[in-house]
Structure 1
Amino acid sequence: MEKETKETQKKAAPSSQAAAMRNDTIDLVELAYVLLRRWKMLVLFTVVGALLAGAYHQFLVKPTYQADASIFITNTDSVITISDMQLSSALTEDYSKILTSRSVLKEVIEDQDLDMTFQDLSKLLTITNPDSSHIINIAVNCGDADMARNIANSLMNVGIHRIYQIIGTGEPNVIDYSESDSVVETTPGLKKYLMLGGMLGLVLACALITVRFLLDTTLKSEDDIAKYLRLPVLSVVPYYEEGKD
């Protein structure tokens, strides 16, 4: 029994030693050759990923549209002083918060007869102040182009009136109303989905091949024996398949 146990341990030792050495060091060159040998799998996963992403874009992604409107925050007096400009700049952030306030959003919902809550409406809005200027841009994103345009214009009109009520200074000046020809579709294009799907498929294929490479501890050639066990190869027995000369 002791002899059999020792012989079994001796047989298992080279395999465990090879596994330990392979886990300790990763041969990137060998991994690169493995990836190149599996190029068909890489191409297949890339194509399948691109096709799935394309099908998702065509059948499941709903188009979204963006409507823009903008106002200019400043005093309406004919003579504008530096202090007026500084005050307008300081109040720009306050104006942005007024535009997205609960009372303003509820009035817009009532004005446009929208079937949504003010929380839902707030998710469609993006209020920006580019480069800390006196301009406030109102952007509305939704799946209906006409609805996006109407909401943007209604929000601007209601917001301007509400700002005048709260701040008490001159009403902001309208720079641009939202118009039909200015509404743009913001849905990512088919090419973008194809590229992303293909890249995800390629990454997944590389990950699977790499995991299999790291978990594979078998010795496949005399070079593996010399590399991982550091033992000389004394002889090689060729594989003979019966029925072939």
Structure 2
Amino acid sequence: MRHEYDQRDSYDEEEDGGLDLVDLVFAILRRWQIIILIAIPVVIAGAFYASTRPTLYRADVTMMITNPNAAATIGATDIYVNEKLTLTYTQLVKSKDIMARVISKYDLADSPGGLASRVHVSSVEGTAFMKLSYTSGEANLTAPVINEIANEFIYKIAEVVKLRNITILERAPGAYQLPKKRGTIVVAAIILGLALGCGVAGIIELIHKKLRKSSDIEKVLGVKMLGMIPEIDTSKKAKEGEENNE
């Protein structure tokens, strides 16, 4: 039986620039084995990382910078000066001298640069507050280390600036455990694995030269298709004929 040619398959040079959405869906269905093979190692790696992720603890110290020459009431100028001092002190708190003293006091198996990398300094915009945070895998040492860093920082300011214009408002009473986010890591690994698999499948389809649609044939031959001949399963027809003869 002759198939009527579906005009939707006609080739349009202006619109056919590669894989469209429908082509991409069918490409994913055709290449699902490749997608799974790529996704499985990524998901396994993500699950392994999530399960073996070490427990980390964090402790925080809140500090305030004050201007000893300022009046009793704090104005906009004082806040501006304190903000600039905060930016300067942020660099100073991670100095090698301070880190080396803390390492020596607690006999830490770390370098000044390694210790400084786990110290985070943040400031509250529009205020003179600073927060020092320290992340470590040792629950008993996390709070003492960040408290000592704050003390050494005050001593360093007095030594360099010759002023004692920074005070500790709130010491770290103890360390709190950071969430491991294992579920988030596994979900991210699944999404990443599927995305990589789909990307590889799309690239394979783009470089694949096999003709799949009538529009591909029209593009190669440069002529319009008049009709399509349906695929006939000859083995099934032969088997039905033998049954009828019997």
Counterpart code for 1:25: G
Match of 1:198 in 2: 190
**Unaligned residue ranges in structure 1 (runs of 5+):** 1-20
After TM superposition, give the deviation of residue 208 of structure 1 in Å. 2.2
Match of 2:153 in 1: 159
Alignment partners' CA distance in 2, 1:91 and 1:66: 25
Counterpart code for 1:194: V
- Amino-acid identity (%): 17
Pairing 1:58-77 to 2, within 5 Å after superposition: 58-59=51-52, 61-75=53-67
Pairing 1:118-197 to 2, within 5 Å after superposition: 118-180=112-174, 183-187=176-180, 189-197=181-189
| Between structures 1 and 2, the one with greater helix share | 1
Alignment partners' CA distance in 2, 1:113 and 1:216: 62
Match of 1:56 in 2: 49
Match of 2:9 in 1: none
Match of 1:116 in 2: 110
* Alignment match of 2:206 (pick from 203, 214, 239): 214
After TM superposition, give the deviation of residue 76 of structure 1 in Å. 6.0
Structure 1, residues 1-29: CA drift from partner, whole Å, max 9, x if none? xxxxxxxxxxxxxxxxxxxx8xx731404
* Alignment match of 2:95 (pick from 97, 101, 117): 101
Match of 1:4 in 2: none
Root mean square deviation, CA, Å: 3.4
TM-score (norm 1): 0.73
* TM-aligned CA distance change 1:80 to 1:112, over 3 Å: farther
Counterpart code for 1:117: S
Question: What's the secondary structure of 2:125's corresponding residue?
Answer: helix
**Unaligned residue ranges in structure 2 (runs of 5+):** 1-12, 240-246
TM-score (norm 2): 0.73
* TM-aligned CA distance change 1:210 to 1:84, over 3 Å: closer
Moved over 6 A (4+): none
Question: What's the secondary structure of 2:86's corresponding residue?
Answer: helix
